[in-house]
Amino acid sequence: MPQKVRPQLPERLPARKAKGKPRGAPEGEGWLHEIQIDGCRIMARVEDGRVRLVDEKGKEQKGRFEHIAAAIAGLGLRSALLDGEVAVLRRDGTTAPPPSGAKAAPREGEVVYFVFDLLYLEGHDLMASPLSARKQALERLLRDASKGGGALRYGDHVEGSWEEVVQKGCQLSLKGIVSKRIDAPYVPGRGPGWVRASCSGAPAGEKGKKGRAAAPRANKRAAPRKSAGARSRQARDAEDGDGASVAGVRLSHPDRVLYPAQGITKRELALYYESVAGWMVPQVKGRPLTLVRCPEGTESECVYMKHAKVWGPSALRRVTIQEKTKAGEYLVADSAEALVSLAQMGILEIHTWNSTTSRLEKPDRVVFDLDPDPSVAWERVIAAALLLRDRLAELGLESFVKTTGGKGFHIVVPLTPSSGWDECLAFTKALAGDIARRDPEGYTIAVSKAQRKGKIFIDYLRNTRGATSVAAYSTRARPGAPVSAPLSWDELGPEMRSDRFTLRSLPERLASLREDPWAGYGEVRQKITAAMRRALRMPA
């Protein structure tokens, strides 16, 4: 690893010009664009497992950003050199410079490290590699660290037309846009490989004689400005595209193939969600989401997204949820436009909480996931679903079944939101455990895969706070483009495999149905009672 590396810096360009493009502006394709973070440039050096943070002048930041150094140490690296920006991530998605004191903590958000480049990794100098390769390696490195929305954040980007990205970015009052050559090496100092368009000045034609922005007339009521959070959220609209639009959502790269074996494109995925929205929205509305994003399709790298990132379509609602040690921001999809927006993001799996944002601590359903060992005959899986239905009915609870698009079934029990998370978890564990005790050769609630051989694992752990299960009608990031499909109990049989329905076949099935397989789900009023707890010998 080189002992000292000056950070690469962008050329500065004015954001707009009255006529034509500024000299030196990016021409043609081959550029990616990042939001300019309003923070402090920091390089993180990892040598023999020890982490040092240095500013752009090479001065070590001792005693400052210790939580970031600890997060980097948690990656388990022996040697690495990261480049990025430390900033306060506000709750509305905007950024601000971090506090100057070592112990200072901002009130308006959390201090995070947006890492946008990887220069050295485990004995390999990457500075001569093209930016695209460096960012791919960086995204893989930070994938697990970014799951919980902690101190490390992958510095994401968009691709497309420079003019459109800058225009929309500045309309949204972002600080600026940094454009970078996809195929360029890392070159210390200021050069043409990076170009920055600043949005700090007023647009051409809006300045007074002395260069100050013209004030609105006194007899005119100024239009309300969009909140800063809405402007971050809407920045994804700056992606380049072919003009395709579904449910009012403009798609970038609509012909990008997401499921290669079937030739299913982003446009087809978006049209699928538009077609099933009437069925799906009631199942996801108001629920915090966890997502699986595969922007290049199922045969490329996929990212598990628990917390929302700075980028995100405006149709998606954002909620902040207090967790054990910090607050996390989640996306919520309340409309057809929101579902299509998820497709635009390359989301191939949509998972939901068991509660809604209006009653977050009171689940309105519990879910049992039947996960069979590969050696288990399918007829036994069907029998397990029917057994669980019957046991629930004995307790006085109505249940519904759906395929998972994977290996088994989900048994869903709607509830009036009255019990808390602990009670719901205890109830589902007691019922699953009772079934396993009665037939220990056929069922287990043991998490260890070694104890599941030849058995069906009744997974009750999806009923903890923050746990999720795949949403009804969601696609899966699996070969064949399977979906999670609600069924009527009468449809269970040897031919009803868990991956029976796909993105292409489910709309036809729904069009042919005379009745919703889950008819009456929304009208069910039931709760966990003391009599049920006594029947399962649960503590009072």
Q: Kindly tell me if the per-residue pLDDT of 523 is higher than 90.
A: yes
For residue 230, is it within any domain? no
Instruction: Tell me what the mean pLDDT of segment 315-336 comes to.
Output: 90
CB–CB of 48/123 below 8 Å? no
State the greatest distance between any 2 C-alpha atoms of the chain, in Å, as a whole number.
86
Distances (CA, A) of 349 to 136, 285, 384, 474: 21, 16, 26, 6
For the segment 296-305, what is each residue's pLDDT rounded down to a tens digit? 999 888 888 8
Lowest mean pLDDT of 78-87, 198-207, 284-293, 379-388, name the range.
198-207
Does 503 lie in the same domain as 369? yes
Residues 516 and 408 in one domain: yes
Cβ–Cβ contacts within 10 Å for residue 377, how many? 10
Instruction: Identify the three-state secondary structure at position 172.
Output: coil
Q: The domain spanning residue 452 has which CATH number?
A: 3.90.920.10
Confidence of residue 498 (pLDDT cuts 50, 70, 90): very high
Q: Tell me, yes or no, whether 162 and 43 share the same domain.
A: yes
Out of 163-172, 396-405, 426-435, 515-524, which region has the weakest mean confidence (pLDDT)? Answer: 163-172
pLDDT higher than 80, residue 500: yes
Query: Which one has a higher pLDDT value, 11 or 498?
Result: 498
The answer on 531 and 490 residing in a single domain is yes
pLDDT digits (tens, 9 = 90+) for 352-410: 999 999 999 999 999 999 999 999 999 999 999 999 999 999 999 999 999 999 989 99
What integer best gives the mean pLDDT of the chain? 85
Whether the CB-CB separation of 80 and 36 falls below 8 Å is answered with no
* Mean pLDDT in residue range 408-427: 97
pLDDT > 70 fraction of the chain, expressed in percent and rounded = 86
Mean pLDDT value of segment 122-128: 90
pLDDT reported for residue 401: 98
Q: Does the residue 398 lie in any domain?
A: yes
Nearest in space to 485 (alpha carbons), one of 493, 494, 468, 497? 497
How far apart are alpha carbons 48 and 209 in whole angstroms? 59
**Same domain as 377, residue 313:** no
Average pLDDT over residues 508-523: 91
Backbone angles phi, psi at 282, to 5 degrees: -60, -25
**Domain closes at, from 143, 169, 198:** 198
Based on the fold, state whether residues 476 and 434 are members of the same structural domain. yes
Residue 447 or 289, more confident: 289
Please state whether beta strands 289-293 and 176-181 pair in parallel, antiparallel, or not at all (unpaired): unpaired
- The encoded tokens of residue 146 equal 């970014």
Where is pLDDT greater, at 429 or 56? 429
Element (H, E) at 273: helix 266-284
User: Does the residue 208 lie in any domain?
Assistant: no
Do 49 and 157 reside in the same domain of the chain? yes
Please check whether residues 266 and 347 belong to one and the same domain: yes
Q: Is residue 88 part of a domain?
A: yes
Same domain (yes/no): 47, 127: yes
**What DSSP letter does each residue of 65-113 carry, written as one string?**
SHHHHHHHHTT--SEEEEEEEEEEEETTS-EEPPPSSSS---SSEEEEE
Provide the pLDDT confidence category of residue 340 given band limits of 50, 70 and 90: very high
pTM, two decimal places: 0.59
Is 90 exceeded by the pLDDT of residue 264? yes
Question: Which of 179, 198, 217 is the last residue before a domain boundary?
Answer: 198
CATH label of the domain that carries residue 137:
3.30.470.30
* Domain contains 431: yes
pLDDT score recorded for residue 20: 61
> Among residues of the chain, what percentage have pLDDT more than 90?
58
Is the C-alpha dihedral spanning 60, 63, 67, 69 positive or negative? positive
Are residues 449 and 346 part of one domain?
no
Residue 27 CB-density burial (10 A; 0-12 exposed, 13-18 middle, 19+ buried)? exposed
Instruction: Write the DSSP symbol of residue 411.
Output: E
* pLDDT computed for residue 537 by the predictor: 93
For 55-99, write each residue's pLDDT tens digit: 988 899 988 899 999 999 989 899 999 999 999 988 767 788 888
Q: How many folded domains does the chain comprise?
A: 3
More confident residue, 172 or 63: 63
| Unique residue bearing structure tokens 């489910």 | 506
Q: How confident is the model at residue 453 (pLDDT cuts 50, 70, 90)?
A: very high
Cβ atoms of 173 and 123 within 8 Å: the answer is no
124 part of a folded domain = yes
pLDDT recorded at residue 109? 78
Paired strand residues for 82? 44, 118
Q: Which of 83, 105, 109, 84 is nearest to 96 (CA)?
A: 109
Give residue 305's identity as a one-letter amino acid code.
M
What's the whole-number mean pLDDT along residues 188-198?
84
Instruction: For residue 61, give its domain range.
Output: 8-198
Of the given ranges (48-52, 233-237, 359-363, 439-443), which has the lowest mean pLDDT? 233-237
Same domain, yes or no: 57 and 111? yes
Which of 324, 285, 336, 293 is CA-nearest to residue 311? 293
More confident residue, 181 or 168: 181
Give the model's pLDDT for residue 57. Answer: 87
> Is residue 209 domain-resident?
no
Q: How far is CA 503 from CA 342, 343, 346, 369, 478, in A?
A: 15, 13, 15, 22, 11
Chosen domain end from 176, 198, 220: 198
- Clarify whether residues 391 and 436 are in a common domain: yes
Domain membership of residue 446 (yes or no) is yes
